[in-house]
């Protein structure tokens, strides 16, 4: 259970880092569109006044920066890694 909680927190932290890395609203908008969000929603979220951590936990990043996409980028799940060693 603790490993699962840590896993969830870590994924949120990765989403936060990605969001923070995009820096400017225009880049955030373009990247959200690239991830499949419609233009109006992307515009609204790119200019939100919410903090990065709040955005990382929001549905917008949870549905766009998915576990599958993180895995494609080389992220190895802690649970998978643990099961491989045991």
Query: Which DSSP helix (H) or strand (E) runs through 26?
Result: helix 25-34
Q: Give per-residue pLDDT as tens, 39-85.
A: 999 999 999 999 999 999 999 999 999 999 999 999 888 887 787 76
Q: Can you tell me whether residue 10 is helix, strand or coil? A: helix
Comparison of pLDDT for 13 and 84, the residue scoring more = 13
Q: How many CB atoms lie within 10 A of CB 57?
A: 16
Query: What is the pTM assigned to this prediction?
Result: 0.88
Ordered by start, the domain boundaries in the chain are 1-85
Phi, psi (rounded to 5 degrees) for 58: -75, 160
Which tokens go with 35? 């991830």
């Amino acid at each position: 259970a603790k490993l699962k909680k840590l896993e969830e927190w870590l994924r949120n932290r990765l989403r936060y880092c990605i969001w923070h890395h995009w820096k400017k609203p225009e880049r955030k908008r373009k990247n959200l569109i690239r991830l499949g969000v419609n233009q109006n929603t992307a515009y609204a979220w790119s200019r939100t006044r919410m903090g990065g951590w709040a955005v990382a936990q929001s549905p917008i990043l949870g549905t766009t920066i998915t576990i599958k996409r993180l895995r494609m980028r080389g992220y190895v799940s802690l649970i998978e890694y643990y099961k491989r060693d045991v």
